[in-house]
Amino acid sequence: MKRCFRTPWRALFAVACLFAAQAAQAGAIDMLHQFLDGTKTLRADFAQIVVAKNGRKPQQSAGTMMLARPGKFRWQIEKPYNQLLVGDGERVWLYDPDLRQVTVRRMGTALGGTPAALLAGEGGRDALAQNFTLREDGEREGFAWVEATPRMADSGFEKVRLGFAGGELRAMELLDNFGQTTSLRFARIERNPALAPALFRFTPPAGADVIGE
């Protein structure tokens, strides 16, 4: 069984990055600013749907995510198969228990010039402005939307949209350079819960193949 990790990695990096950054403008952008400015840790359930450019049958997954700013995150995909992504502040670990395979890269190398590079440090408004162009994107589905377009041509994404409701980030939509759209919806959001440091550490299980740095 072979799986392609490129799409999940890019999607999860972008989500984590935009949680870890800050912005300050009006309307929905101001909601983004206020939400991120008051969020040091975060825990939520997520449902993800990936639709290819050709409209082929969507790929669906679900799980839980946790973040501890700056630079630490944990994404546990639980359905339709298990997969774990952990950023410990120095390295990014991707573990597939079915394949008994671990892929590891240094944070800077793994994230490079992508939006998720903001996870490597405090980020801040200046860093976000340097990497993204933000604009108000109206209201739909009951959400107020912000559109973030990466300034770097090799970021892997054309744009990312963030949807807010009730002051909480409830949705994200990511359009990559291959025309593929990833939609995420968040539920059971907890802001600033106490999260054990061990959640953001990863040790490869005995017998697992380790690929990377």
Does residue 39 sit within a domain?
A: yes
Sequence-separated (6 or more) residues with CB below 8 Å from residue 98? 1, 81, 82
Q: How confident is the model at residue 162 (pLDDT cuts 50, 70, 90)?
A: confident
Record the pTM: 0.77
Domain extent for 205? 6-129+189-212
Does residue 16 sit within a domain?
A: yes
Is the Cβ–Cβ distance between 160 and 169 less than 8 Å? no
Does residue 175 sit within a domain?
A: no
Instruction: Report the distance separating Cα 172 and Cα 161, nearest Å.
Output: 5
Reduce the DSSP state of residue 89 to 3 states and report it.
coil
Does residue 148 sit within a domain?
A: no
Question: Half-sphere exposure of residue 47, counting CA atoms within 13 Å on the CB side?
Answer: 5
Does residue 160 sit within a domain?
A: no
Nearest to 186 by CA among 39, 31, 47, 17: 47
Does residue 145 sit within a domain?
A: no
Residue 31: its H or E element: helix 27-37
Number of domains in the chain: 1
Max mean pLDDT among 39-43, 75-79, 115-119, 195-199 falls in: 195-199
Q: How confident is the model at residue 124 (pLDDT cuts 50, 70, 90)?
A: low
CATH number, residue 19: 2.50.20.10
Does residue 77 sit within a domain?
A: yes
